[in-house]
Structure 1
């Protein structure tokens, strides 16, 4: 483990773009504080998510991802074959909110909301709106600090492709099978990731940081979100901002540590999927092709 490495904590109300970029270049992820309405919106979203995941499986099956296209709806990852992870998730993707009269109409653009809990659509969409606005703000800060082409910005802001996911890691009442881990080491496929996660004792999120590339436990300060750089931001920045490599380890099985469920809330931001991003001056990659290739390599749902 890298004892010297740490994740910077930035108060977004006072941080400028140059400071943000410097922290991302050195650490690939930063904690953000000073976020308006964050706690209230997060608490409402989590309450509805916990209610949904507590439903019988037959009820969740009504809004299950069908295994084709972009991830959405309920995904029982614990049942997805030899590479199954002990978790389930629910994922929502909403379009550009322009053209929708209000929050309810915008939520209606997603067709896979469950009937219960009744407030799930409104609580998730409210949090989604906050994270989408935050992504716009962060992208502009990064672009201005790095002097990235202004013509690129619409694809990364109002035309962004984004999705909101809640991960429910199941309590491991029995020891996991050999080699099974809550989430294996990976970088995120998109531009920015905004993550909140529970600080569970005995195991959880780890990031690969520092000159020795050691795995460092990620412990969330109060009222903070973790901002992680993804593959497409790494390329868009000309390689200056590294993509954050991270994993979620199993909790320790010490007698004094209770085996509990764990929740994380993740907003994945990408540029417009019809955009291309340069991996070097001579090669460009389709955002859509990269996202779908990474999705296929992650897991599938058996039908």
Structure 2
């Protein structure tokens, strides 16, 4: 996607902050250890997640950042999934400001895309209005070191997986490495970087909603560039209390839904826990 309206200067500033963070000593990054956050926000070291079942842990490190919620917010008090305070190092006000601006702009963009999705499914433009209300969002800043010369069997930067939620808007650097699965040709295709663009992925929630009329995008990362790779996926998961049930325009006569209705938060918890338990 190009022509998205996200400020180029903001993207450049945020990318610089992210690269600076990942170049810090490990002990400094671990001050933001995600495992200490009740909201799953903060730093995740390399090999902490396994996205592809049966594969070695992923060769990536990340920083999870969401909307900023204080301790008194009702969603925080109720310990809702991914709702809470972000974790920051001292003297990072510029980083925080750029991140908050980026998340705001990306949320507006994702909301607009949900309107287009509705129209593509022969639904009213505002069909997803309630889903878009106070949505759960997550920005993951990721760093992939170069692929090892002698990797373990099936070891890669990011194992083959589909995203969990609604929409993913991915900003990738110039070094490439992202691959998507072509179901028809049964082969992996390189998603080559296009300057100024976002990769748009449909997540598992969209598959569920559309009875697999639209399918979530199977993808993986193998950083063969020989350089450090940086990317920033933005995950738009919608209102945690919204019920995802098969859309009326996605069932033919006498066809039954493949999936039972589910709350957004319940769906996200199930998908999230699977990738951490198996690793």
Fold equivalence (TM over 0.5): yes
What residue number does 1:62 align with?
31
Structure 2 residue runs without a partner (length 5+): 70-83, 247-256
Asked whether the equivalents of residues 118 and 126 of structure 2 are also in contact (C-alpha less than 8 Å), the reply is no
RMSD: 2.8
Alignment match of 2:159 (pick from 184, 187, 195): 184
How far off is 1:80 after superposition?
A: 6.0
Alignment match of 1:295 (pick from 265, 272, 279): 272
1:244 aligns with 2:213: no
What residue number does 2:172 align with?
197
How far off is 1:245 after superposition?
A: 0.7
Asked whether the equivalents of residues 95 and 161 of structure 1 are also in contact (C-alpha less than 8 Å), the reply is no
Relative contact order higher in (CA < 8 Å, ≥ 6 apart): 1
Q: In 2 relative to 1, CA 292–246 (structure 1 residues): closer, same or farther, beyond 3 Å?
A: same
1:87 aligns with 2:60: yes
Asked whether the equivalents of residues 83 and 299 of structure 1 are also in contact (C-alpha less than 8 Å), the reply is no
CA distance in 1, matches of 2:147, 2:197: 27
Per-residue deviation, residues 141-194 of structure 1 (Å, max 9, x unmatched): 211332347785233223211111111012345532232111111110000000
What residue number does 2:130 align with?
155
Asked whether the equivalents of residues 144 and 223 of structure 2 are also in contact (C-alpha less than 8 Å), the reply is no
Asked whether the equivalents of residues 76 and 87 of structure 1 are also in contact (C-alpha less than 8 Å), the reply is yes
CA distance in 1, matches of 2:148, 2:212: 42
Structure 1 residue runs without a partner (length 5+): 1-31, 97-108, 252-257
How far off is 1:250 after superposition?
A: 4.1
Q: In 2 relative to 1, CA 118–160 (structure 1 residues): closer, same or farther, beyond 3 Å?
A: closer
CA distance in 2, matches of 1:136, 1:94: 15
1:48 aligns with 2:21: no
Per-residue deviation, residues 217-249 of structure 1 (Å, max 9, x unmatched): 001222111111111122223432111111112
How far off is 1:95 after superposition?
A: 6.0
What residue number does 2:189 align with?
216
Q: Which region of structure 1 is more displaced relative to structure 2, 135-144 or 58-67?
A: 58-67
Q: In 2 relative to 1, CA 37–212 (structure 1 residues): closer, same or farther, beyond 3 Å?
A: closer
Asked whether the equivalents of residues 136 and 237 of structure 2 are also in contact (C-alpha less than 8 Å), the reply is yes
Q: In 2 relative to 1, CA 234–38 (structure 1 residues): closer, same or farther, beyond 3 Å?
A: farther
CA distance in 2, matches of 1:174, 1:214: 23
Q: In 2 relative to 1, CA 236–69 (structure 1 residues): closer, same or farther, beyond 3 Å?
A: farther
CA distance in 2, matches of 1:275, 1:63: 31
**SS in structure 1 at match of 2:261:** strand
How far off is 1:124 after superposition?
A: 1.1
1:124 aligns with 2:99: yes
1:169 aligns with 2:144: yes
Per-residue deviation, residues 54-99 of structure 1 (Å, max 9, x unmatched): 1111111111112675531101133569943221100111169xxx
Q: Which region of structure 1 is more displaced relative to structure 2, 192-201 or 144-153?
A: 144-153
- The size of the alignment, in residue pairs, is 252
**SS in structure 2 at match of 1:269:** strand
**SS in structure 2 at match of 1:199:** coil
